């Protein structure tokens, strides 16, 4: 990720209209901003997973993810499982390790990709 041509800006996430994304179980609400030039956009999101949420796909996109609230369980395609609590984060490169998320309690995340 190259962070270029991004002027200083602030975001009131409560004012960003959410989009709904169904999981295998539950749903995710994404509040999304795209920043930077069109040829190298960076997606910045505040994501809320409903209690019981299970992702509907194996994600291969790279992310920097920070858990703000709740608990997130992320499973890698090789079978490793990681449980993240508030204040914990992970980072993974595009195409590096397919991952899938779920949460029993619900979770609020801040994600940059």
Angle at 104 between CA 111 and CA 59, to 5 degrees: 40
Q: What is the pLDDT of residue 4?
A: 84
- Cβ atoms 86, 103 nearer than 8 A: no
What is the rounded distance in angstroms from the CA atom of residue 61 to the CA atom of residue 10?
Answer: 25
**Averaged over 15-23, what is the pLDDT?**
98
Q: What is the DSSP letter of 50?
A: P
Q: By C-alpha distance, which of 7, 11, 27 is closest to 19?
A: 27
- Residue-wise pLDDT tens digits, 28-56: 999 999 999 988 899 999 999 999 999 99
| Residue in the structure block whose two tokens are 């996109």 | 61
- Residue-wise pLDDT tens digits, 88-108: 999 999 999 999 999 999 999
Q: What is the pLDDT of residue 43?
A: 96
Q: Which residues contact 16 (CB under 8 A, 6 or more apart)?
A: 31, 32, 33, 46
The answer on pLDDT for 1 being more than 90 is no
The answer on pLDDT for 2 being more than 90 is no
pTM for the whole thing? 0.94
Q: What is the pLDDT of residue 107?
A: 98
Q: What is the DSSP letter of 55?
A: -
């Amino acid at each position: 990720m190259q962070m270029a041509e991004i002027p200083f800006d602030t975001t009131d996430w409560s004012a960003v209209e959410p989009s709904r994304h169904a999981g295998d179980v539950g749903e995710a609400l994404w509040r999304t901003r795209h920043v930077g030039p069109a040829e190298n956009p960076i997606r910045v999101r505040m994501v809320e997973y409903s209690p019981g949420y299970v992702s509907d796909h194996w994600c291969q996109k790279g992310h920097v993810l920070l858990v703000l609230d709740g608990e997130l369980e992320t499973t890698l395609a090789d079978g490793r499982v990681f449980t993240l609590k508030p204040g914990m984060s992970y980072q993974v490169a595009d195409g590096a390790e397919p991952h899938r998320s779920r949460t029993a309690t619900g979770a609020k995340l801040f994600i940059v990709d």
